[in-house]
Amino acid sequence: MDKYIGNNFHSLHYGDFKVLGYDTISGKRQRYIVKFSKTGTIKSAARYAIASGNVKDPYYPAILGVGCVGNVVVKGNNYIYQTWQNMLRRCYDPQRHNYSSYGGRGCRVSKRWLCFEYFLEDICTLPGYNLSNILSGKLVLDKDTLKLGNKIYSKETTQWLSVKENTEARNTITYSKKYDIFDAIGECIAHEVTLNQAVIITGYAKTTLHAHIYKNKWLGKGYRLLRV
């Protein structure tokens, strides 16, 4: 009786898995079919990898605790992978410089797009797709203009826009939002004001206010704007 088949093992980085049986399709010796407990991923693994715990699960959420690469090679897709990773970081990494404007406000990535493999499959179907312009940095992902108030990056709600179009759309949305203004001791001195009204109240330029909201920082005179 093979001591591997039917038994559970622990990988170094991807949780527990169970050996289901021999891999008879690969034609290689000492290979088994394993199934990971957390994700349900089924794959072929060598005996030495099973014994050492070096079996990898491509669908394990190893990136920020939510994302996985999937069954795809990152090499050759580096720029697209960086775009995908930055999207995740905006939404799930509190240390990210713009997290307060995304994850801090409830922005999330759809379950399908938490996997790079599926993100890579879908991006060519999005409005505005042009691979050469994407790779040259001329196009960026936008989740705000197809559906006003949207907070989800997904195949249904996202498109490619030029950098200029994205900036203009973001500014338009930002300037129409309502904010509460607080003073240095934390008292609300104005409720549900627009950015234009905040300019009059605080004496700061609109671009300065916008930048501080984006970075979630206090203004020099002690004012702070929070989105309602």
* Whole-number Å distance between alpha carbons of 55 and 63: 17
Q: What are the pLDDT digits (tens) for 102-141?
A: 998 899 999 999 999 999 999 999 999 999 999 999 999 9
pLDDT > 90 in the chain, percent: 59
User: Between 172 and 52, whose confidence is greater?
Assistant: 52
Classify residue 11 as exposed, middle or buried by CB count within 10 Å of its CB (0-12, 13-18, 19+).
Answer: buried
146-159 per-position pLDDT tens digit: 887 899 999 999 99
- What are the pLDDT digits (tens) for 196-223? 788 888 888 877 777 776 556 667 667 7
The pLDDT score that the predictor gives to residue 228 is 62
Task: Give yes or no for residue 174 having a pLDDT over 80.
Answer: no
Q: Which residues, 6 or more positions from 207, have their beta carbon under 8 angstroms from its beta carbon?
A: none
